[in-house]
Amino acid sequence: MIGFIIVALGLIYALFLLVRQKKQLRQMLDVLIAAKNGENRKVFIKDNDLVSQIGFEINDLISTYNKELSRQKKLEQANKELLTSLSHDVRTPLTSLLGYLDALESRIVDGVEKEEYIKIARKKAYDLKGLVDTLFDWFKIDSREMKLSMEPKDICELTKEIIIDWLPVLEQKGITPKIQIPDEEWIVELDPIAYKRMVSNLIQNVVEHSDCSCLTVILKQGEDMVSITIKDNGIGIAGDKLPFIFERLYKGDRARSKHSSGLGLCLVKELTQMQEGRVTVQSEEGEGTEFIIELPIFKR
């Protein structure tokens, strides 16, 4: 008799466990269906058996899924803003370029004025090319398709070559260059094209936004890193804007936004990090701005 009672109680307990597990499995199914439909729900299980562990894993999976979904939505919105911003930035020089070319084709200008129109049209074309190059570079980085070709290079010689290309622009803008680059060979493993883009973006930022009269470029070598400092004596950057200048699409103010895609400094940061380096900035309003790029020294 006692044995019968024990068996009966065992069967009742097993039936209870079966019903409870079925209820728990039903709850898990409901939560998964809710997650599929965009709802954020969790499985609530108190025990520590196998079904409970599965419930915990489902909760973790849904949490990860929701975080990734949120990231993708933010990325999609940011890309929409980027395309909207750059479509305007591209349209402006393109419209202006077409206007000058139409005037030249119609022969409504001649002599000195014609030469001036050709010069302006050429500049507009290069402005447009710069915007397109920036756009392509950004989307390559953002989609993780950008592949760098790292190689040991003499950073002193490479930096000099970049600055030489900028000398005509600096002269035209009335900016005096002060260059402190040693006549030595400092080997750094980098991507030459990416490095040129980084330094050129910083110099372009100075030329277009600093309203300075002097540009200083300093190359220094530390124990493990080589640093290039690009400093101006211009208007500086307000303290409340400084933390955001490396964010994409950040343009600081309306005057700046007329001449900026909002991607230049962001590309500098991304390309520097891809080469295992870092970039920092220091600035005060009225006291100029100083950018410092640091890259690891090549270990032979």
Which CATH number applies to 151-296: 2.40.30.110, 3.30.565.10, 1.10.490.10, 2.20.25.90?
Answer: 3.30.565.10
Among the listed ranges 22-31, 113-122, 235-244, which one has the minimum average pLDDT value? 22-31
Instruction: Show me where the domains of the chain are located.
Output: 2-70, 85-142, 151-296
- Contacts within 8 Å (CB) and 24+ apart, 258-262: 259/208, 259/209, 260/208, 260/209, 261/85, 261/86, 261/89, 261/131, 261/134, 261/135, 262/85
pLDDT by residue (tens digit) across 106-145?
888 888 888 888 888 888 888 788 777 777 777 777 777 7
| Average of per-residue pLDDT values in the chain | 79
- In this prediction, residues 95-106 reach a mean pLDDT of 84
Give the gyration radius of the chain's Cα atoms. Answer: 30
The highest-confidence range among 159-163, 223-227, 242-246, by mean pLDDT, is 159-163
Report the pLDDT value the prediction gives residue 254, as an integer from 0 to 100: 42
What pLDDT, on a 0 to 100 scale, did the predictor assign at position 179?
94
Q: Which amino acid is at 232?
A: D
- Count the neighbouring beta carbons within 10 Å of the beta carbon of residue 70: 10
Taking alpha carbons only, the member of 195, 277, 209, 273 closest to residue 241 is 209
Distance between CA atoms of residues 43 and 48, nearest Å: 13
Per-residue pLDDT tens over the stretch 198-207: 999 999 989 9
Can you give the pLDDT at residue 45?
63
Question: Percent of the chain scored above 90 by pLDDT?
Answer: 32
The mean per-residue pLDDT over the stretch 236-264 comes to 68
Quick one: residue 154, left, alpha or beta (phi over 0 = left, psi -120 to 50 = alpha)? beta
Over residues 174-185, the mean pLDDT reads 93
Q: So what's the pLDDT on residue 258?
A: 47
Q: What is the pLDDT of residue 219?
A: 95
Taking 80 as the threshold, does the pLDDT of residue 53 lie above it? no
**Torsional class of 294: left (φ above 0), alpha (ψ -120 to 50), beta (otherwise):** beta
Residue pLDDT, tens place only, 207-231? 988 899 999 999 999 888 999 999 9
Q: Which of 216, 102, 138 is nearest to 170 (CA)?
A: 216
The pLDDT, as a whole number, for residue 51 is: 61
Tell me the pLDDT band of 46, cut-offs 50, 70 and 90.
Answer: low
pTM of the entire predicted model: 0.65
Which of these CATH numbers, 3.40.50.300, 1.10.287.130, 3.90.1200.10, 1.20.1090.10, describes 85-142?
A: 1.10.287.130
Cα 196 from chain centroid? 17
